[in-house]
Structure 1
Amino acid sequence: MLQFFKPSSLHNYTDLGLLILRIGVPLLLLTHGYDKFLTFLEGASDFPDPLHVGARLSHALAVLGEVIAPVLVMLGLLTRVAAGIEIIHFLVVAFLMHAHEPLSEKEHALLYLLPYATIFLAGAGRYSVDRLIAK
């Protein structure tokens, strides 16, 4: 058990931890994005438009933030770019979509924001497509 805490083994566990974070958080997010993706494909035009760029483009940006970028993070492909997209997405959700609502309504967006900020800072880790490309 004490071997788990030896400095020489911590690097291996860090990469494993990043992998778990990179797969777990986006998997949970995809459950939200899947419905948005389907309604986008159906051509729905009644989507909220917090950025004032049009409902259809706002819907596309939501799909980018809740489907495409999470898949990239899971794969560890363009990880920091995808995590940056997620950070922007959840800042918009928390502080524009729920701007006038209490913290309890912003909480889910902020809880998603934190692991993506961690991934953005830490990178994808050893077990990623980014690492394979870098070699």
Structure 2
Amino acid sequence: MAESLLLAVNKRLACDDFGKLLLRLAVGGLMLFHGLHKLFGGVAGISGMLVAKGLPGFIAYGVLIGEVVAPVLIILGVLTRPAALVLALTMIVAWLMVGMGETFALDKVGAWAIESLVYFFIGALAVAFLGAGRYAVAKNPVWK
């Protein structure tokens, strides 16, 4: 009885392409909010951090590629795997810039201080390994 119920549930929920779409929407959609904030609010804060570390401030505009362009491509399912890798790299850079000191810390509510960085990093890697799936704007597999 229990086994047949579990088999029925498993069969009903076996929608890999829909799961890939949900993952793309979550990872790309939530990261896009971060990117839009920087797009409309400016990247001066990031530029200042880079200059303080001895790097040229203009490379702060690269965050717009990682947090606006890559998420839009992920959401649409266009160049999904490369875009997801760009997002994962962006999260590594974010960790190096602002998260290293918080790697072993908890925030004021007990959550891991860098959990959003890790979420986006792991989510982006999952998208890179899984690909866009059937529900993508790009229909040619080369562009997915």
TM-score by length of 1: 0.80
For 1:114, which of 97, 117, 122 is the aligned residue? Answer: 122
Shift in Å, 1:53: 4.2
Distance 1:106 1:114 in 2: 12
Q: What are structure 1's unaligned runs of at least 5 residues?
A: none
Partner of 2:96: 95
1:127 is the counterpart of 2:135: yes
Distance 1:122 1:46 in 2: 31
Distance 1:93 1:19 in 2: 25
Q: Any runs of at least 4 consecutive aligned residues in structure 1 with deviations exceeding 6 A, and if so which?
A: none
Shift in Å, 1:93: 1.3
Encode CA deviations 1:11-41: one digit per residue, 9 max, x unaligned: xx1100000111122221122111211234x
Distance 1:88 1:4 in 2: 37
- After superposition, residues 1-135 of structure 1 pair within 5 angstroms as 2-6=7-11, 10=14, 13-40=15-42, 44=44, 47=47, 48-49=49-50, 53-58=55-60, 60-103=61-104, 104-130=112-138, 132-134=139-141
* SS of residue in 2 equivalent to 1:124: coil
Highest CA radius of gyration, 1 or 2? 2
Q: Which has the higher helix share?
A: 1
Distance 1:84 1:46 in 2: 21
RMSD: 2.6
Q: What are structure 2's unaligned runs of at least 5 residues?
A: 105-111
TM-score by length of 2: 0.75
